[in-house]
Structure formats: C-alpha cells, structure tokens
Amino acid sequence: MKPVAETLDLAALLKDTREQLTYYKELGVENLETQSLKQSPALVSVPVTQPVLPPPSPFRTKTFSTDRPAQKPAAVSTPTDSLFGDLAAPAARIEKSSESFAEIWADIGDCTRCELCERRTNIVHTDGNQKARLMFVGEAPGADEDAQARPFVGRAGQLLTKMIEAIGFRREDVLIGNVNRCRPPGNRPPTPEEASMCKPFLLREIAVVQPEVIVVLGNTAMRNLLDIKQGITKVRGEFQDYQGVKVMPTFHPAYLLRDPSKKKETWEDLKKVRALLDSRRE
C-alpha cells in the first residue's frame, strides 16, 4: 500500500473515532469499558514491514493488507452493558424497612437541622398511600403547601393531580413527597446542604413503601435522588434506577405552568410509567 493511501486511511479512522466520541458525549457516557476489546485476538492485523500505527480505537478497527484496496473501517460492536447498563446484573433492590412513617416523622421532630426552619410555617411530610406502587417526588414545598402542611396542593399540585388521573390513578392511590420538607425562601431550590439534611428521611420512606416506580419532578429532585449531573432535558423520558426501583425523570408541574409546550413530552413520559406498571400486572 502506498504511503499516501495509508495516511488517508488513518485520517478516516481518526475522523470516525472523533465522531464516535462526540456521539457518546451527547449520550452522557463518560467512561467506556474497553478491557474486552483489548483481550480480543487479532482485532488489527498489521504486517511487520508496515509502519506501526497508533493503538486501535475502541470504537472502530481496520485491517490493512497489501493484497487488496483499503476497505471502509468496520464498526466494532461495543457491548451494550458497557454503555447503558442494560445487560448488567440488576442492582440489588433497596432493603425493605420495618419502620413506620410515624417513626420516621418522630425522628424528624420539630426539625432545626438547617436554616429553612427559621421561616417555615409547617413541616410538609410525604402524603398518600403508604402501600402505593407509584410515587412522585418533587423538590420542596411552596407557599400553599407550607400553609396547608400537604405536598402539591397549589396550582402545580392541581396540575399534578390531573397528570395522575390522566394515567388512570387517583391522587389517593399514589404517594407524593419532596426531597425537602420546609419551604425555601422565595420558592428557590434547596441548596445541596439543605437537601442533605432532608434526603435521608425520604429514602427511609421509600424503603418502607417499596414503590415499583418513582417519578421525579424536575432537576432538583432528580439530581438529589439519583446523584447525577445531567439536566432534566437530557435524562427525562428514560427509566433510571434507584437501588432496583425504576425512576422516571420528567418536568416539574410548576415548569409546565410556565411552558405548556412541554406537557406533550411529560405525557409521553407518564405513558411509559403506566405501561410499565401494567406490564407488571400480567
């Protein structure tokens, strides 16, 4: 093979690699398992007399030969589980707790663990069916919730109720809560420190109820429950995992009131939740 042809082949290989890396970055993939590729025999065959090329890309490989014209780089099948976890062993389900909500709330007490206690009217505990298959988790109470000591009772809560009814449930069939139980001033998002004070109690409630699906509403709730950095627009619509519990991230009802155009996407997310729950009844 002429040196010019080799240079063109290498340039094409590097271009394909850059395109693949850009694609994985858009998917949010930060690490790829390439050990299996390193152990695979004869992924690249380079005659001893040929110049030594850079190590093979983990995405595409090329076989060079002087007997025939260069072929288009062949795609290497990367195991699906190294990208998305679909084929990996399922995570251990969160251990069932024998606590009661009353015991958890007694531990919370008249909470003064963070500065949110200074301006609150009420602590807003999780509300609904404590044997629910479906749970909704938001970020924190608003003014109406703070006044009534119930989650999601204001305008956003009324929209959430309609969303719940649209997929065939009643509000009393599901469980509804927030990461934080005290209203932040001006309805701002809770700080990481404030969320860290409240989150353990929410996780204890989840361990008691063992819901089959949790719908997290908005960025703050999603990031606090799942410990991921991506924004809701990147993650919504795809089931995530929390210790064996399926989690569907979607837009917060308050956001839908500001941007009704996102209701269609939220409806698609909720239909997936309904379909999963229906499939588990079969």
Average pLDDT of the chain to the nearest whole number: 80
Backbone dihedral angles phi then psi of residue 4, each to the nearest 5 degrees: -65, -45
| Of residues 15 and 87, more confidently modeled | 15
Q: Of the spans 4-13, 21-30, 132-141, which averages the highest pLDDT?
A: 132-141
What is the 8-class DSSP label of residue 179? S
The rounded distance, in Å, linking the Cα atoms of 200 and 104 is: 10
Ranges in the chain annotated CATH 3.40.470.10: 101-279
Whole-structure pTM value: 0.68
Do the Cβ atoms of 234 and 144 come closer than 8 Å?
Answer: no
Q: Measured at the alpha carbon of residue 68, what is the angle toward residues 66 and 70, in degrees to the nearest 5?
A: 90
CA 199 to chain centre: 17
Mean pLDDT lowest for which of 78-82, 129-133, 154-158, 186-190? 78-82
At 170, the amino acid letter reads R
pLDDT at 68 over 70: no
Q: Which of 208, 206, 218, 216 is nearest to 136 (CA)?
A: 216
The CATH number assigned to the domain with range 101-279 reads: 3.40.470.10
Q: Which residues pair with 61 in a beta bridge?
A: 74
pLDDT attached to residue 182:
98
pLDDT attached to residue 281:
83
Which helix (H) or strand (E) segment is 262 a member of? Answer: none
The rounded distance, in Å, linking the Cα atoms of 254 and 140 is: 12
Burial of 192 (0-12, 13-18, 19+ CB in 10 A): exposed
Do the Cβ atoms of 119 and 188 come closer than 8 Å?
Answer: no
Burial of 106 (0-12, 13-18, 19+ CB in 10 A): exposed
The torsion angle over the Cα atoms of residues 2, 3, 5 and 11, rounded to 10 degrees, is: 170
At 183, the amino acid letter reads R
At 37, the amino acid letter reads L
* CB proximity list for 180: less than 8 A, separation 6 or greater: 116, 139, 140, 141, 190, 194, 195, 198
pLDDT attached to residue 232:
96
pLDDT attached to residue 12:
66
Give residue-wise pLDDT tens across range 162-206: 999 999 999 999 999 999 999 999 999 999 999 999 999 999 999
Give residue-wise pLDDT tens across range 202-245: 999 999 999 999 999 999 999 999 999 899 999 999 999 999 99
CA 16 to chain centre: 29
pLDDT attached to residue 282:
63
